[in-house]
Structure 1
Amino acid sequence: MQRICVIGGNRYFGKLLVERLQAAGCQVTVINRGSVPPPAGVGHLVVDRNDEAALTAALDARTFDVVVDQVCYTPVQAAVAARAFAGRTRRYVMTSTIEVYDPATAALPAVPPRTPVSEEVVDPTAWRVAMDLPWHDDAYLEAHYAEGKRQAEAVFAHAGSFAHADSFAFAAVRSAHVLGGGAREFTGRLAHYAELITQGEEITVHAKALPTAFIHYEELASLLSWAAGADFTGPVNACSDGPLDVHDLAGIVAAQAGREAVYRTVPAGEEASPFSFDRHYAMSNARAKALGFSFSRTSDWLPGAVAEALAVSAASTD
């Protein structure tokens, strides 16, 4: 029986991950601040992961086969966790993001236009870490979300690179934009499109909007569960086959709503609706496939996710 610790795991795909690990016979322990209790039969440590002394005390003598970290956003948080779990786990899996590839947030190696970006474009073992930035400031963190994730990966990659008894193997799952789940979808972006289109309001798009990658929340939970039981290290991209641009996405919503999407075009560099991108960073999932994970196509699950979003939108206007 695998002993797995999930940090976070109290909402959306993290909650589903916990349920799936438990159903697979794993002994699961969830660490969070206690706002939402885990399912019956799941261990629960109520502690703030930012408080290193409290986290270390709460862990006590516990050890785990794998830690899956759902809520690490900064190198400071990563350093606290790396020290706290040194000698307590053999494997550490961090949920990361497609945002690490956003060329608007860092000087990244150039890739040919419309070429899916592979993992080596952002190498955590070579990424510079700056602990002295104001990572504890919520406004700074929100504005530097992508960089926080890149540096968090880097801290874990270095923590797991030393050949001594306390080191652990590290993997980062870089998730595409997550959709599905209806009212559970905490970003609300698909519901936002459902509301705009059903109400006939404008969707703001770039003149040459480029495609990006998506993944269903259930598929991401499946991939994280797979990653916990695998032995690969380093980053792996998690996205369904079939990138979409904002017009593709809005068109599917409009078709199911029986309405027409209304667009307003803005130049590159200006703010637009979610998933309208004036720059390219759609991911390649070739490495995950080569390691043995099989992805769905976005077109397989998106109509169902749109139907859920339309139902939520309709309920909110009743």
Structure 2
Amino acid sequence: MQRICVIGGSRYFGKLLVRRLSAAGHRVTVLNRGSTRPPSGVEHLVADRDDEAALTAALGSRAFDVVVDQVCYTPVQAAVAARVFAGRTRRYVMTSTIEVYDPATAALPYVPPGVPVPEETVDPAGWQVAMDLPWRDAAYLEAHYAEGKRQAEAVLTRTGGFAYASVRSAHVLGGGTREFTGRLAHYTERVARGEEITVHAKALPTVFIHYEELADLLRWAATSDFTGPLNACSDGPLDVRELAAIVAAQAGREPALRTVAAGEAASPFSFDRHYAMSNARARALGFAFSRTTDWLPGAVAEALNTPPSPTT
């Protein structure tokens, strides 16, 4: 049994992570802004993680074996966490994203299409950090999401107060109404309605992970001892046409695809650039991944059975 603090943990795979940590016998504390209470038996602390004084006061004299940070988006937030949790935990795990590898958002080493992107493509130890950018501005943060994650990783990598690991998640699917990004619904609703889906002429594959598998991996990462970045994706990259075909097979009708040129806007998961991750490091450390094509039809069926939104 370990003492584990989850920052965030109020929705989607974070909520599932809290349940699974608790079911495994760990003493779990959830720290968030109070909008959603954790399940019975889980301690709940309410604080704004951006407010260092409030965060310190909420924690009091508590210490943890592990902190799992689900909602760290900027280097400023990472720096606050580094100061507050230094001496309070021996291990810190941050949930990061595949988007740190997106070549559209940073000058990154070239990886040939078809070659899965390894963790060392983005090395947080050497990544430049700019604390004076307008990270607290919501519009700026949305436009610079990938860079915010890269710089947050960099700050936590360089702190000396605890062992640090980041989990770079692939695109997360599954969960029906809990899949709050709406990206899979974009396909299921359009295919079901016979509406157009825009795709790039030379769309490149990407990688996915089921929300339950990601919760399991984060639970495993919390109680492991590896450090540094770790890619988390199911086996088997898919391109947008393969994704649309799986949706169409479940919906029982053909998708209406319209091709657009490279550089033009297209449907989610249609990429004209390559950044499909390699999960070799996680496999070598002992985590066994599923195949995307084994769980995706079920996730699509679940989404098809979810009442559609008025517009997508």
Query: d(CA) in 2 for partners of 1:196 and 1:256?
Result: 13
1:44 shift after superposition: 0.5
Pairing 1:67-78 to 2, within 5 Å after superposition: 67-78=67-78
1:195 maps to 189
1:276 shift after superposition: 0.2
2:291 maps to 297
* Number of residue pairs the alignment of both structures matches: 311
> Do 1:194 and 1:313's aligned partners in 2 also have CA atoms closer than 8 Å?
no
Unaligned runs of 5+ in 2: none
Secondary structure at 1:205's aligned position in 2?
Answer: strand
Pairing 1:202-217 to 2, within 5 Å after superposition: 202-217=196-211
Query: d(CA) in 2 for partners of 1:305 and 1:251?
Result: 14
Query: d(CA) in 1 for partners of 2:113 and 2:147?
Result: 23
Secondary structure at 1:312's aligned position in 2?
Answer: coil
1:157 maps to 157
Query: d(CA) in 2 for partners of 1:232 and 1:277?
Result: 31
Query: d(CA) in 2 for partners of 1:78 and 1:272?
Result: 33
> Do 1:241 and 1:297's aligned partners in 2 also have CA atoms closer than 8 Å?
yes
Query: d(CA) in 2 for partners of 1:313 and 1:248?
Result: 24
Query: d(CA) in 2 for partners of 1:22 and 1:39?
Result: 9
Distance 1:127 1:315, change over 3 A: closer
Secondary structure at 1:187's aligned position in 2?
Answer: coil
Secondary structure at 2:305's aligned position in 1?
Answer: helix
Secondary structure at 2:31's aligned position in 1?
Answer: strand
2:237 maps to 243
1:52 maps to 52
Query: d(CA) in 2 for partners of 1:315 and 1:207?
Result: 28
Query: d(CA) in 2 for partners of 1:75 and 1:86?
Result: 16
> Do 1:173 and 1:224's aligned partners in 2 also have CA atoms closer than 8 Å?
yes
Deviations 1:127-180 (A, max 9, x none): 000000000000000000000000000000001xx3xxxx10000000000000
Query: d(CA) in 2 for partners of 1:63 and 1:10?
Result: 21
TM-score normalised according to structure 2 size: 0.98
1:112 shift after superposition: 1.8
> Do 1:195 and 1:313's aligned partners in 2 also have CA atoms closer than 8 Å?
no
1:315 shift after superposition: 8.9
Query: d(CA) in 1 for partners of 2:34 and 2:58?
Result: 13
Pairing 1:46-195 to 2, within 5 Å after superposition: 46-159=46-159, 162=160, 167-195=161-189
Question: Which amino acid letter does the alignment assign opposite residue 101 of structure 2?
Answer: Y
Question: Which amino acid letter does the alignment assign opposite residue 299 of structure 1?
Answer: T
Please say which of residues 288-297 and 187-196 is displaced more in the overlay: 187-196
TM-score normalised according to structure 1 size: 0.96
1:260 maps to 254
> Once the two structures are aligned, what percentage of the paired residues are identical?
80
Query: d(CA) in 1 for partners of 2:308 and 2:134?
Result: 41
Deviations 1:267-302 (A, max 9, x none): 111110000000000000000000000000001100
1:316 shift after superposition: 7.2
Secondary structure at 2:90's aligned position in 1?
Answer: strand
Unaligned runs of 5+ in 1: none
Kindly report the root-mean-square deviation, in angstroms, between the aligned alpha carbons of the 2 structures: 1.1
1:211 shift after superposition: 0.2
Query: d(CA) in 2 for partners of 1:251 and 1:121?
Result: 31
1:59 shift after superposition: 0.8
Deviations 1:25-53 (A, max 9, x none): 00000000000000011000000000000
